């Protein structure tokens, strides 16, 4: 089979009218930056990249109040630096930065906004389990020269592109421009991403679910009921057995779903209710929802479609239910019905 590099694929997408030159360059730059993050991640202890950022006395914290790992900081810097000078961006925003980062004055500015979680699943770095990068691309609103946080607050339906890269046994990029979801695998010897699956389709039915079961006692009643029924297996009301997986790196859990189906849930629970959920809408939930929907799956908050939400803050959190369409619909139906019964 003739292999198709990411660059060739982007040229095809330009010819098909799915992307313009600026967006194509943006994706090339992000992919190149992710190759550098893959190299840094793969060096492990030999690269001095494991452990926490800052010092033992003064850990480096991000805006979410989470202690940063060295690789969170390194991957953030790699993405910022790579994207500063190409003229394809108006600004970047990241999980690791409170406010958007403008493009330095000495460089030309473009018409796109880039959001990213530079290193998703960072609790897994030190134990050599897959981590990754998630990104989302929006159009900069017309007439905005210096984008502020408010300019990023666009519903997921307006995303021009979304993707993630998994730094696992293989480095894999999954990408959508709203015309299907496609997978590229990094050929480490050649140094280029090669198309490995075009137009991925997630099975509609699921037999695997991913959830952090240690939060079970804090979940809302419809989630307790729903997962209880999955756990009851063949003997329960669902009449079939479900298997469970939880990597605690969303990129890895989502990649499993993109590969063989299943569902991923990070529902609301009593511990995180005040903050609205665990995962961030702008650079985790929305890009993953776009990728999953383009592969025929569904993505909701348990009540509404994620991509239809109007975000109200750059680091806003939401509950996330995504994956095989029919299964996400069952979980969502239980929540909507419970809300209806409460009046």
- What residues line the site for ligand AHG (CB under 6 A)? 66, 117, 120-123, 212, 248-250, 253, 278
Tokens 């998703």 sit at which residue? 120
What's the closest the beta carbon of residue 37 comes to ligand AHG, in angstroms?
14
| Minimal distance, residue 152 CB to ligand AHG, in Å | 18
Q: How far apart are the first and last CA of the chain?
A: 58
Kindly report the backbone phi and psi dihedral angles of residue 26, in degrees, each rounded to the nearest multiple of 5, phi listed first: -55, -45
Contact 323, 296 (CB under 8 A): no
Contact 203, 261 (CB under 8 A): yes
Shortest separation between residue 53's beta carbon and ligand AHG, angstroms: 13
Write out the two tokens for 162.
């979304």
Phi and psi of 191, rounded to 5°? Answer: 85, 20
Query: Based on CB atoms, which residue is closest to ligand AHG, 88 or 278?
Result: 278
Smallest separation (angstroms) from ligand AHG to the CB of 106:
31
Q: Which is nearer to ligand AHG, 116 or 177 (CB)?
A: 116
171: its two tokens: 């480095």
C-alpha dihedral sign at 121, 147, 154, 314 = positive
Q: Are 299 and 289 in contact (CB under 8 A)?
A: yes
Comparing CB distances to ligand AHG, the nearer of 121 and 311 is: 121
Closer residue to ligand AHG, CB minimum distance, 33 or 250: 250
> For residues 120 and 293, which CB has a smaller minimum distance to ligand AHG in the complex?
120
At its nearest, how many Å lie between ligand AHG and the CB of residue 122? 4
Residue number with CB closer to ligand AHG (103 or 211): 211
Nearer to ligand AHG, 315 or 335 (CB): 315
Task: Give the CB-nearest residue to ligand AHG.
Answer: 250
Q: HEC string of 89-149?
A: EEEEEECCCCCCEECCCCCCCCCEEEEEEEEECHHHHHHCCCEEEEEEEEECCCCCCCCCH
Residue 39 CB, shortest distance to ligand AHG, in Å, is 20
Cβ 89 to ligand AHG, closest distance in Å?
22
Q: Tell me phi and psi for residue 149, to 5 degrees.
A: -55, -40
């Amino acid at each position: 089979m003739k292999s198709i590099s990411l660059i060739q694929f982007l040229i095809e997408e330009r010819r098909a009218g799915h992307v313009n030159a600026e967006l194509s360059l943006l994706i090339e730059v992000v992919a190149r930056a992710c190759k550098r993050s893959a190299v840094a991640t793969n060096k492990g202890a030999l690269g001095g990249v494991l452990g926490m950022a800052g010092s033992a006395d003064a850990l480096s914290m991000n805006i979410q109040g989470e202690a940063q790992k060295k690789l969170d900081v390194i991957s953030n810097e790699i993405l910022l630096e790579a994207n500063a000078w190409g003229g394809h961006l108006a600004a970047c925003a990241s999980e690791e930065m409170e406010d958007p980062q403008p493009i330095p004055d000495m460089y030309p500015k473009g018409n796109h906004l880039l959001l990213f979680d530079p290193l998703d699943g960072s609790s897994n770095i030190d134990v050599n389990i897959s981590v990754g990068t998630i990104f989302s691309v929006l159009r900069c609103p017309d007439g905005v020269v210096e984008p502020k946080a408010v300019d990023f607050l666009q519903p997921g339906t307006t995303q021009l592109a979304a993707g993630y890269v998994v730094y696992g046994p293989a480095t894999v990029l999954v990408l959508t421009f709203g015309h299907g979801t496609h997978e590229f695998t990094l050929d480490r010897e050649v140094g280029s991403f090669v198309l490995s699956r075009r137009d991925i389709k997630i099975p509609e039915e699921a037999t695997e679910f991913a959830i952090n079961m240690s939060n079970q006692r804090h979940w809302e009643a419809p989630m307790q009921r729903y997962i209880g029924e999955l756990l009851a297996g063949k003997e329960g009301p669902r009449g079939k057995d479900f298997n469970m997986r939880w990597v605690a790196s969303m990129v890895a859990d989502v990649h499993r779903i993109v590969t063989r189906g299943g569902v991923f849930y990070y529902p609301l629970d009593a511990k995180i209710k005040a903050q609205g959920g665990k995962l961030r809408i702008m650079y985790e939930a929305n890009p993953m929802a776009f990728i999953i929907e383009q592969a025929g799956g569904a993505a909701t908050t348990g009540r509404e479609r994620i991509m239809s939400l109007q975000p109200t803050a750059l680091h806003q959190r939401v509950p996330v239910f995504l994956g095989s369409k029919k299964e996400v619909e069952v979980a969502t139906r239980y929540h909507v019905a419970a809300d209806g019964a409460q009046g």
